[in-house]
Structure 1
């Protein structure tokens, strides 16, 4: 597996990965109507290009195939964070998160936060993200349960330890 920065040419494959993951993985925790609202069949590629390009977006690929991606905003928000349905529980998410955390440290970000799905809740728990609150969000007329989670970046603590 190789991690790299997002390129515009990745967009169609990322959209497909997002759609497939929602419809084949998240479907275990949400209804078909909710998943259809979350990841509709017809997504606007220009909106995705703008969104992916406006953040620090990293792509995981294996043998030329995109198997995951994650986005970091300058304020520490992890927006979209998905990996391929065939690569669940294989360390892909961990590698993407490590890259996002590394970038956050370089940027001096002190806290990461996200709105994790029910499906992603165990992943973020295992990577020391605390639940701040449960929320109900509405997308295209469907209400979905999400969890606002956050994690303090440990680079300050590590820096102080190095000075001692």
Structure 2
């Protein structure tokens, strides 16, 4: 699989991959209700596009593409050093793809002088980031659509949480 830049035209496919990836976690460490709150059933629309555009503005991003052009994963790292998205298609998991995308975006960030990085990692992505040298700072709980979801704050390169 090859890594390529993420283009605006890729966003609808990334959105669908995001939803598939989250729902593949149901029955593992997240409940079906948690997955529905995290990635609700909805189609790509102008509202979602606007939200993604704001989140991706200026971010470093990449996609993983399998033979035949099939989207296997995508990731983006915001200019403030926060990994905002890292998703791999369920069929492409456990092949080191997440780690490759993390390394690629870290390389681009380092070229721009950004080395203090952090992520609010899911149970599924936490091992990917730990293998990449991120250290666990603390457990975390968010509420999405009235449902509590556990995740983890991890950091690398000297990033510190405000007030810590």
Are the aligned partners of 1:6 and 1:53 in contact in 2 as well (CA < 8 Å)? no
TM-score by length of 2: 0.86
Closer, same or farther: CA 109–54 of 1 in aligned 2, 3 Å: closer
Q: Aligned-pair distance for 1:53?
A: 4.5
Are the aligned partners of 1:27 and 1:35 in contact in 2 as well (CA < 8 Å)? no
Report runs of 4+ in structure 1 exceeding 2 Å deviation. Answer: 43-54
TM-score by length of 1: 0.86
State the Cα RMSD in Å: 1.6
Are the aligned partners of 1:6 and 1:59 in contact in 2 as well (CA < 8 Å)? yes
Question: For structure 1, which runs of at least 5 residues remain unmatched after alignment?
Answer: 154-164
* Alignment length (residue pairs): 153
Q: Aligned-pair distance for 1:120?
A: 1.6
- Is 1:12 the counterpart of 2:9? The answer is no
Question: For structure 2, which runs of at least 5 residues remain unmatched after alignment?
Answer: 159-164
What does residue range 95-114 of structure 1 map to in structure 2 within 5 Å? 95-114=100-119
The equivalent residue for 2:149 is 144
User: Which structure shows the higher helix fraction?
Assistant: 1
Q: Matched residues in 2 for 1:27 and 1:130: separation?
A: 27
Are the aligned partners of 1:19 and 1:39 in contact in 2 as well (CA < 8 Å)? yes
Correspondent of 2:70 among 59, 65, 83: 65
Q: Aligned-pair distance for 1:117?
A: 0.8
Q: Aligned-pair distance for 1:46?
A: 3.3
Q: Which has the larger radius of gyration?
A: 1
